[in-house]
A and B are shown apart, each in its own frame.
Chain A
């Protein structure tokens, strides 16, 4: 258990509304990631963070922004949600052990944009 929680776990919203998803970790990991999972695409990286206030884009970052003001929290914001952003969103942290590229995932947030 990597101590990762995500909130909310489920959300239904309407096109054009802003949405913020929260990822919280309890183990002080430096690296945090946001992915989306869609059928036929596996998991695709949206944004990641390598420290407080340090973030960078992933492969599907358009329409998303992130913020990290504290080590433990990584927020994903959809400024104006679209139906194409209906997906399951996963947060992950990177382990600090010798297998340095292992990532551990939260339970996910299912987002539906109507």
Chain B
């Protein structure tokens, strides 16, 4: 039972354009969401997060949007750069998973930004 899903395994975008990565969740008790970026042979690095009391959070080129009614979040990267090429994971927390601060991760989307 995959509670956090990233249905696109890969995404290819031209440099300078917008990258949109999507994530869906099923557990309505989730109240905090995070995005991580992972380069090969490295650990995931925290990128940006959003609480369920907000519908948007912005940090430089990265913006996360949350649509609670649709149980959907997205990460927008504008403009995309070749260095953004990586695997992106969304993660969720809340409800039963608040105990211990546990995170539930999606499967990941591999973003390729072409020069």
Looking at A33, A40, A58, A102, the one whose CB has the most chain B CB atoms below 10 A away is A102
Please count the residue pairs between chain A and chain B whose beta carbons lie under 8 angstroms apart in the complex: 57
Q: Cβ of A58 and Cβ of B107 under 8 Å apart?
A: no
CA distance A91 to B79 in the complex (A): 32
Q: Contact check, B102 vs A40: say whether CB atoms are below 8 A apart.
A: no
From residue 14 to 71 of chain B, which have CB atoms closer than 8 A to chain A?
Answer: 32, 34, 36, 41-46, 49
Q: Tell me if A's interface is mostly helix, strand, loop or mixed.
A: strand
- Decide if B100 touches A48 in the complex (CB within 8 Å): yes
Find chain B residues with CB under 8 A from A101 CB.
32, 34, 49, 93, 101, 103
Q: Does A84 contact B (CB under 8 A)?
A: no
Contact residue range for chain A? 20 to 34
Once the chains bind, are A94 and B101 in contact (CB under 8 Å)?
yes
Chain A positions 89 through 102: 1 when the CB is less than 8 Å from some CB of chain B, otherwise 0: 01010100001111
Smallest distance from the beta carbon of B88 to chain A beta carbons, Å?
A: 11
Q: Which of B46, B100, B107 contacts A56 (CB 8 A)?
A: B100
Expressed in whole angstroms, the minimum distance between the Cβ of A76 and any Cβ of chain B is 15
Give 28 A-B contacts (CB < 8 Å), ordered by A residue: A31-B101, A33-B102, A41-B107, A42-B4, A43-B44, A43-B91, A45-B102, A48-B102, A50-B100, A90-B43, A94-B101, A101-B32, A101-B34, A101-B49, A102-B34, A102-B46, A102-B49, A103-B46, A103-B101, A103-B103, A104-B45, A104-B46, A105-B43, A106-B43, A107-B41, A107-B42, A107-B43, A108-B43
Chain B residues at the A interface, C-beta cutoff of 8 Å:
4, 6, 32, 34, 36, 41-46, 49, 89, 91, 93, 100-103, 105-108
